[in-house]
Amino acid sequence: MELTGAEIVTRCLQKEGVEYIFGYPGGAVLHIYDALFQQDAVKHILVRHEQAATHAADGYARATGKPGVVLVTSGPGATNAVTGIATAYMDSIPMVVITGQVPSTVIGSDAFQEVDAVGITRPCVKHNFLVKDVNKIAETMKKAFYVATTGRPGPVVVDIPKDITDPAIKVPYSYPDKITMRSYQPTVKGHSGQIKRAVELLLKAKKPMIYSGGGVVLGNASEELRSFVRNLGYPITTTLMGLGSYPASDEQFMGMLGMHGTYEANMAMHACDVLIAIGARFDDRVTGKIAEFCPDAQIIHIDIDPSSISKTITVDIPIVGDVATVLQEMNHILTTGNKQTKKKDIEAWWKIINGWRAKKCMTYDRNNTEVIKPQAAIEIVHEITKGDAYVTSDVGQHQMWAAQYYGFEKPNRWINSGGLGTMGFGLPAAMGVQLAYPDETVVCITGEGSIQMCIQELSTCLQYGLPIKIIALNNRYLGMVRQWQEFFYKERYSHSYMESLPDFVKLAEAYGHVGIRIEDPADLRSGLEKAFAMKDRLVFVDIVTDQMENVYPMIANGKAHNEMHLSPHCELPQSPERELS
């Protein structure tokens, strides 16, 4: 079969089972757009800005586990996509981004809409390719999907010059079923000797702690993790990225850890004697002060990426492998033979933990009738959606409150930019999720700052009939910036106040959607119920919240886990305090 380069691109996407491609046309990709037009299998979603194309594909990937696919043109198309590519890279999200390039004959001549896309994206992709021969398209696309989805996943860019997709040039086409690369062979199975040592160490622990991360969600290992945690009977905390991989309502769950983690999770991290990190990378938002991280613990670390091991925290027992595979092997050891936890060995530990829990660090001013507390809005959204919605967020205070108060029970439900912290992520990510699951409730929890970074996508949502519920916690401040300025800059609120905000209700209406504004705490529940009752409409809920509310607990930058600022409403004096068990 002879096909043009552009036809080969679309055939490859079909072969990979791509449902949606998020993109924006332009000169260098016109041939590919023409080929897309002449087929039905791959549906194209026209965004309003290339950044949104990458976030939408990213959201789709996070919710489904399948790679997100993007098509943008050369030059500004490629540079606009970079923020989304970097976002996916930091959170290890599988994505294939096709960028058009100027014809290969003029590359390097500063041609119209030329940028070195391979060069610009190099530091924020898992790998990238420049296709210089039409005969190499199929093989390159196969490699791109293979690299993006295996090992530690990540975005892959395929840069295709316009002449390579020329409709006048046809070449024989076949899509390889399988590809092997001598330079890329990710490890899957963990070292059995290390796994045995790890289990033995875990069973000897007096104050064990399980700390799991986004790798469990990405590695589809949530079931294995749940069995593992129950088999051991140990406390578990997850990172921001790991929320949902273990049910929030479970008794063994301690909440999130780190900068805005719970009191009990952070105190337990500080006091534990054996720590097992599962698919987590010891991010600085998690570890706090490195020198005082888990000072008494021996550390086990399971990760598919060898370079994550002992990168910031030196570990005692490293296990390189796929988390699901490694946890299965550990569960097998724990459920066969006589290797089990003796409940009474860790009774004392649970007693200490329950003491920390009793301080109820997540308490806030629930009874305030003057002003809407943002935490209350999240809790009501949780109730209305029965804790089963797909929740995307932007970045800032609202993101932390969503993480703290939504209570995720299932993996792949919590979709946020954890590593890069990209404002503008939430709405386009929600589009990708809603397209993947048209019948599910998709909520975008955002702020009045973040939403304006990709607000133009309201137009895309109308075009494709995406009934996303946007919950904007509007405090007229860039709240997280304001919080840091309050704590660390003597309340000098430098440029964190937002003036001249748009009327979001009218804005939503102008884009053809429904807008609701809620100002009175008494209207909060009814307003949200009304929004969620409109199943087939996008509703923008603009909630006017307490301007000065802070995210608690908080570990200041460079402080240790046991040095938290706590809410004035919980049963502890305002800190920083030092408390050791």
Partner 1 sequence: MRHIIAILIENEAGALSRVVGLFSARAYNIESLTVAPTEDPSLSRITIVAIGTDRIIEQITKQLNKLIDVVKLLDLSEGPHIEREMVLIKVKAATMDQREDIKRLADIFRGHIIDVTTSTYTIELTGSGRKVDSFIEALAEHKILETVRSGVSGIARGDKILHI
Residues labelled catalytic: 50, 112-113, 162, 480
Beta carbon of residue 511, minimum distance to partner 1 (angstroms, whole number):
39
Q: Which is nearer to partner 1, 102 or 444 (CB)?
A: 102
- Angle (CA) 99-451-213 rounded to 5° is 75
Q: Is 490 helix (H, G, I), strand (E, B) or coil?
A: coil
- The reply on whether position 285 binds partner 1 by CB under 8 A is no
- The reply on whether position 64 binds partner 1 by CB under 8 A is no
- The reply on whether position 307 binds partner 1 by CB under 8 A is yes
Q: Which of 19, 305, 345, 486 binds partner 1 (CB under 8 A)?
A: 305
Helix (H) or strand (E) holding 57: helix 50-64
DSSP assignment of 126-179, as one string? SEEEE---GGGHHHHHHHHHHHHHSSS--EEEEEEEGGGG-TT-EEE----S--
Beta carbon of residue 103, minimum distance to partner 1 (angstroms, whole number):
17
Number of residues that bind partner 1 (CB under 8 A): 19
Q: At what angle do helices 374-384 and 397-405 cross, to 10 degrees?
A: 50
- The reply on whether position 310 binds partner 1 by CB under 8 A is yes
Binding range to partner 1, per CB under 8 A, among 267-275, 303-311, 322-330, 512-520: 303-311
Beta carbon of residue 193, minimum distance to partner 1 (angstroms, whole number):
21
Beta bridge partners of 518: 543
Number of H helices, E strands in the chain: 20, 22
Beta carbon of residue 118, minimum distance to partner 1 (angstroms, whole number):
6
Q: Which is nearer to partner 1, 314 or 574 (CB)?
A: 314
Q: What is the CA radius of gyration of the chain?
A: 25
Distance CA 578, CA 303 (A): 32
- The reply on whether position 123 binds partner 1 by CB under 8 A is yes
Record the tokens describing residue 535, joined without a space: 């199943």
Beta carbon of residue 71, minimum distance to partner 1 (angstroms, whole number):
22
Buried-exposed string 76-98: b where 16+ CB fall within 10 A, e elsewhere: ebbbbbbbbbbbbbbbbbbbbbb
Q: Measuring CA to CA, how many Å separate 124 from each of 141, 420, 433?
A: 19, 11, 23
Instruction: Tell whether omega for the bond before 161 is within 30 degrees of 0, i.e. cis.
Output: no
Binding range to partner 1, per CB under 8 A, among 116-124, 217-225, 279-287, 450-458: 116-124
Q: Are 396 and 479 in contact (CB under 8 A)?
A: yes
- The reply on whether position 183 binds partner 1 by CB under 8 A is yes
Q: Which of 181, 462, 510, 533 binds partner 1 (CB under 8 A)?
A: 181
The DSSP symbol for 259 reads: T
Beta carbon of residue 438, minimum distance to partner 1 (angstroms, whole number):
35
- The reply on whether position 270 binds partner 1 by CB under 8 A is no
Q: Is 221 helix (H, G, I), strand (E, B) or coil?
A: coil
Q: Which is nearer to partner 1, 121 or 262 (CB)?
A: 121
Q: Which is nearer to partner 1, 184 or 487 (CB)?
A: 184
- The reply on whether position 130 binds partner 1 by CB under 8 A is yes
Beta carbon of residue 212, minimum distance to partner 1 (angstroms, whole number):
22
Binding range to partner 1, per CB under 8 A, among 181-189, 398-406, 472-480, 499-507: 181-189
- The reply on whether position 142 binds partner 1 by CB under 8 A is no
- The reply on whether position 118 binds partner 1 by CB under 8 A is yes
> Interface with partner 1 by CB under 8 A: which residues?
118-119, 122-123, 126-127, 130, 147, 181-184, 305-307, 309-311, 314
